[in-house]
Chains A and B, each alone.
Chain A
Amino acid sequence: MSPTDPLDPLDRALILATQGGLPLVSRPYEGLAAQLGIDAAQVQARLARMLETGLIRRIGAVPNHYALGYAANGMTVWDVDDARIDALGEQVGALPFVTHCYHRPRHRPDWPYNLFAMVHAHDRAEVLRHADRIADLLGDALQGWDVLFSSKILKKTGLRLKD
């Protein structure tokens, strides 16, 4: 993670104006510009800069994975030897069916797992086959694992800055 600069007021205003989504109109940047009292070219330049610095990961649509037929969403969690987790985490993250992969803290004794890999698939059997492949990859660095299937999306709004 690179060091962060304090958020520029105009960038912040732009985030506030777009965190609910981009306007679905022919000239969306012009609409935002009018709202912020600047011109469309400035909005475009600001967004381009935020993409460059990584403040914006991407501009696009977020699908509800259930609606796309990805009925099984398994959070696979692994208790992996701490000394080897970085090398193995990179390899697990590179597997084509893993959509997110993180090293996170354990909460012993309730939670021994330190590697989290999200797997989206069409059914649970497919998730479990993918998990077997992760287990093989982790080999003797693996002390235990589990798969937590999601059964409901309770909320999915994304980031909301306060006004």
Chain B
Amino acid sequence: MAERQARAELSELDRRIINAMQGGFPLTDTPYRDVAAGLGISEDALLVRLRELLETRVLTRFGPMYQIERMGGKFVLAAMAVPEARFDAVAEQVNALPEVAHNYRREHRFNMWFVLATETPEGIDAAVARIEADTGLPVYPFPKLREYFVEMKLSA
């Protein structure tokens, strides 16, 4: 994966853009121009910086965050204990599924944690079965029983 781990060199403007763009993107005819005006820059300058931030993976995505439960789907966190010698190969198998929305390596016996996102609840079971069949390893699903708080904004 080309995911960068290092802290990026960000200009003051990049930080302001990242902070301004984490939510509340306007539903106007020219939304970038409107955000740019708020930042005191031109629309072109904003678009150039956004493309660069996405290309260098400082931003992993820009657009609507869909809450799949509201359309009958499901998000489930799941974990696996993957033998170190097979870690990269298993990561490749798991990541190959479009149902895997993100995946993190964590320092624990359960060293792989991923989120399955599917359009129907049955899709989760199918994805879990598929991963278990592909890897020969048990998958531990952690569906949410209750959500107390979610706020993913981080200040740059």
Contact = CB atoms under 8 A, between A and B. Distances in A.
A118 to B, nearest CB: 9
A6 B22 CA distance: 29
B145 A104 contact: yes
A69 B148 contact: no
Contacts of B103: 153-156
Interface string A142-153: 000010111111
A59 B27 CA distance: 9
B107 A151 contact: yes
B110 A56 contact: no
Contacts of B154: 63, 65, 68, 70, 99, 120
Contact of A156 (B54, B60, B64): B60
Interface of A is mostly: mixed
A146 B110 CA distance: 12
A153 B119 CA distance: 24
A71 interface: yes
Interface in B94-119: 94-95, 98-110, 112-114, 117, 119
21 contacts: A7-B71, A7-B72, A21-B61, A28-B31, A44-B27, A50-B66, A63-B60, A63-B156, A65-B154, A66-B3, A66-B6, A66-B7, A90-B148, A92-B149, A100-B149, A102-B77, A103-B145, A116-B142, A150-B105, A151-B107, A155-B95
